[in-house]
Amino acid sequence: MKATINIVIVTYNNKDLLESCLKSVEESLDRSGLKGQITVVDNASSDGTPELIGKRFPHVNHVKNKQNLGFAKALNVGIKKGIDSDYTLLLNDDVELFPQTIASMVDTLNNYPVAKGSPACLVYPDGRPQPVKLKILGAAKKSFKGVQIINFSGTTACMYRTEIFNIVGFFDEFYFFYNEDLDFSLRAKRKGMKSVFDPDIKVIHHRKKGRVNAVNAIKPYFYATDYYFYRKNFGLLFSSVYLLMAFVHILLWRRRFRKENESEKFRLVQEGIEKLRETRKNYKKLRNKSVVS
């Protein structure tokens, strides 16, 4: 019986990047010999994405959200569509696979039974390496020596054994964007889960281009997202230290944007302050709404 795979791609107003992504996924899936489905979770795109999928990729499982649910919640929607599959490949819509990528990821997981995930090495279209994060808390690196057992997997381009979601749970849906991968990897580590990183398994990542159409929606969540992550995973004292640092940082940016008459940037910082205050005030309620432990 062939192994099965669910390839989950979250998209928002990135029609051209998504088209390139899907083309590469189709070729890589075809070469892998796996039986699988491609699940595109569309966070209410208005740029012609639904029409593109309907015309060019009618076989894709296209989930059309009525509003932008954020990244973590959209990931969960896609994962649940193929929860019975053997493997789940999570991809940003600004990623392109090489023909051998999927097969190489599966082979790597099979060669390292201890591992539940296998993230790809990210490169620019011209082949230059991008920084890749291998630790939950630590700097990203560009150069690597051989295959490594790691404790951070990520969501940009990572294959998981689907069983991990039955052990660790799904992504915490508080995270609209950012930190969902850190939170998941930390929970996985605390349950003894590991991943394996092979620097020879590469994917093209159009870094920062995937978020360009959503940047104004993302930025106000920055401080609140970090505060929530630290409060949830490291406690009140650690998050209080972060809170103090965040307000100093905010104060400096407000002064700069006011002085330079950057009204839009000033507005985004103000929104960030409000979301941070709301998150701090309602942390317990927000935490209880989380779909994971």
Q: How far apart are CA 61 and CA 59, in angstroms?
A: 6
For the chain, the domains span 4-209, 214-289
CB distance 142 to 134 below 8 Å: no
What's the confidence (pLDDT) of residue 208?
Answer: 72
Q: Please give the backbone phi and psi of residue 127, each rounded to the nearest 5 degrees, phi first.
A: 95, -10
CB of 53 closer than 8 Å to CB of 15: no
User: pLDDT tens digits for the chain (293 residues)?
Assistant: 789 999 999 999 999 999 999 999 999 999 999 999 999 999 999 999 999 999 999 999 999 999 999 999 999 999 999 999 999 999 999 999 999 999 999 999 999 999 999 999 999 999 999 999 998 888 888 888 899 999 998 999 999 999 999 999 999 999 988 899 999 999 999 999 999 999 999 999 998 765 555 566 778 889 999 999 999 999 999 999 999 999 999 989 889 988 888 898 889 889 999 999 999 999 999 998 876 65
The pLDDT score that the predictor gives to residue 153 is 87
Task: Characterise 178 by phi-psi region: left (phi > 0), alpha (psi -120 to 50), beta (else).
Answer: left
Q: Token digits for 85?
A: 């599959």
Q: Which CATH architecture fits 4-209?
A: Alpha-Beta Complex (3.90)
Q: Decide: 204 and 121 in contact? Cβ < 8 Å.
A: no
Between CA 266 and CA 191 the distance in angstroms is 42
Does residue 12 come out as left (phi exceeding 0), alpha (psi in the -120 to 50 range) or beta?
Answer: beta
